[in-house]
Amino acid sequence: MANSEITVAGYLLTRLKEIGVDHLFGVPGDFVMGFLNQALKSDVKYVGTCNELNAAYAADGYARIHGIGAFASTYGVGELSAVNGVAGAFAERVPVVAITGSPATINFRTRPLLHHTLGDYQVPLRIYERITAASTQLTSAETAPAEIDRVLSACIARQQPVYISIPSDIVMMKCKRPEAFVPAPHCRSDPAALAEALKEALEMLEKARKPVMIGDAELIRFKLQKDFAGLLRKTGYPFVTMMLGKTVISEQHPQFIGLFEGERSREYVRDRVGSADCILQLGALMTDLNTGGFTTNLDDSKTISANIHTVKIRHHYYENVHLHDFILGLTKKLSRRNPATLEIQCASGGCAHRCTEPYLPVAAKPLTIKRFFDRMSHFIKKDSMVIAETGVALFSAAELLMPKGATFIGQGFYGSIGYTVGATLGACVAAPGRRAVLFVGDGSFQVTCQDLSTMIRNHLKPVIFLLNNDGYTIERVICDRPYNDIHPWRYHELAEVFGGRPGLDVRTEGELEDALAKAALADGLVFIEIHTGRLDCPESLRSAGRALAKADQLY
């Protein structure tokens, strides 16, 4: 009989491992300790973070590399600290399992004024219900397995966070052992709608003389990169990506022409998309930052826009058409075009920061953002994970031509400053054999800097570039007021304070070369502080600032 049963905590941990969660981030607290005790005995490795917000960010970064992530925290004070990280994952469609250790079930009925509670014990659950694809508060060992499976299936199917609250008395209760996990079945397209959508799309694309494709976030989130690459190979069409879709496939691809962000795009990219007589847009999230402040101005009469379950062609909507099926249908039936006839100027010849452009340092010259990212185009190697913080880092790194196999991570929709410190931790844990390069601003770093120590503790080896421009530059380009000032830290000394190797301080192009030479020899975390001017930033960020100031009626 014993062999046929398992604890509820054991059931959940077994399922997590089965769906691909090898590491669990978190912070202890008395209500979650019973679950963490079981985690320590399981095949899921626990990674403690300095706070719950960073645990959620780490699970997000981990999921973007590994496929799915998870974190655990205690009821109330812990889980509510993590809310912002889960909300970002929800907005950007990242599958994260948020696990809360909560008070014993009797307390939910009698509602004593326990520590960490709010009197109303349902408040955390109601909050998480709004920022997750599914949620549950386990109430018995009998119903726990089905509830856990239901919630985890939703996480996989929708590629969004889910929430599981496990009361302290439920943790060690016995339930049936899990059988093979059967996720929710793949959503099938309506055959008639799919056929009709394909017929209309094929007619437009076969007639087009200057078609172009746009690849974006849903192709990454729903793991459709190979399907997209197959479509490109079959057709020969040029393609662009939007910021959220950056590195959906290799930016060294001969048909890749660059980053498309509406009026903020490079002139050639903007003109090539604008002059296209048919635009095939796949998996796009039309957010303000993704579209250059809603300036893409795509002509509906020339646009085919396919999302995960819907296709829009001109002014016609086709529901229940899965993006995977739509791409495969186009790949099967579209004709191959000669790329020479499609006006393709590869991004490798025009991208703002690219390794095809020689970089010759001037030793005494003060470093600027443009020159720094020009140099980074030569520094970043294939298969790297590049993480860019919202602000100067994100807008600059977006125009950095990535080498083959590189993965780009940036919160280009939700845009929570401080996200990348935790996300870098998660990415490094997910793929310790890949080099991680983080670009983070001083203001953002002050929000979440503590988990630099977690990276050091776990012997992770990212290269961190702290862009010190004396405050919140992303806010200064919107409205430059004293609230954008922050207290200056000696950032490069923090790595040593947290138990790592001393950081490096860089102000000139020559000092940057010296720092990079040391980074190449280092076997551990490298922290390099880069000093630039207060308002030294790319024009795309200035443009975003002007648009936001106007939208927010600040002038």
Is there a shared CATH topology between the 191-349 domain and the 369-550 domain?
yes
pLDDT tier, 1 (very low <50, low <70, confident <90, very high otherwise):
very low
Domain 191-349: homologous superfamily in CATH: TPP-binding domain (3.40.50.1220)
The answer to whether residue 115 is catalytic is: yes
Place of tokens 């936001």: 548
Query: Is the pLDDT at 143 greater than 60, yes or no?
Result: yes
pLDDT tens-digit series, residues 85-114:
999 999 999 999 999 999 999 998 989 888
Specify the amino acid at residue 85: G
The domain limits of the chain are 2-173, 191-349, 369-550
What is the pLDDT of the chain when averaged over all its residues? 94
pLDDT tier, 477 (very low <50, low <70, confident <90, very high otherwise):
confident
pLDDT tens-digit series, residues 324-342:
999 999 999 999 998 889 9
Contacts (Cβ under 8 Å, ≥6 apart) of 264: 292, 293, 295, 539, 540, 543, 544
3-class DSSP state of 6: strand
Q: Which of 29, 469, 484, 492 is catalytic?
A: 469
pLDDT tier, 555 (very low <50, low <70, confident <90, very high otherwise):
low
Query: Is the pLDDT at 410 greater than 80, yes or no?
Result: yes
The answer to whether residue 300 is catalytic is: no
Specify the amino acid at residue 285: L
Q: Which of 415, 418, 441, 503 is catalytic?
A: 415
Q: Which of 34, 101, 471, 500 is catalytic?
A: 471
Q: Which of 18, 37, 43, 115 is catalytic?
A: 115
Query: Is the pLDDT at 522 greater than 60, yes or no?
Result: yes
Place of tokens 């993006």: 323
pLDDT tens-digit series, residues 418-464:
999 999 999 999 999 999 999 999 999 999 999 999 999 999 999 99
pLDDT of residue 70: 98
Q: Which of 442, 451, 505, 511 is catalytic?
A: 442
pLDDT tier, 214 (very low <50, low <70, confident <90, very high otherwise):
very high
User: What's the pTM value of the predicted model, to 2 decimals?
Assistant: 0.95
pLDDT of residue 540: 83
Q: What CATH class is the domain 2-173?
A: alpha beta
pLDDT of residue 136: 98
The answer to whether residue 129 is catalytic is: no
Q: Which fold has domain 369-550?
A: Rossmann fold (3.40.50)
Query: Is the pLDDT at 9 greater than 90, yes or no?
Result: yes
Between CA 159 and CA 253 the distance in angstroms is 27
Q: Which among 132, 105, 143, 128 has a CA at the least distance from the CA of 8?
A: 143
The answer to whether residue 30 is catalytic is: yes
Place of tokens 């879709």: 245
The answer to whether residue 179 is catalytic is: no
Contacts (Cβ under 8 Å, ≥6 apart) of 1: none
The answer to whether residue 442 is catalytic is: yes
pLDDT of residue 539: 82
Q: Which of 196, 470, 475, 485 is catalytic?
A: 475
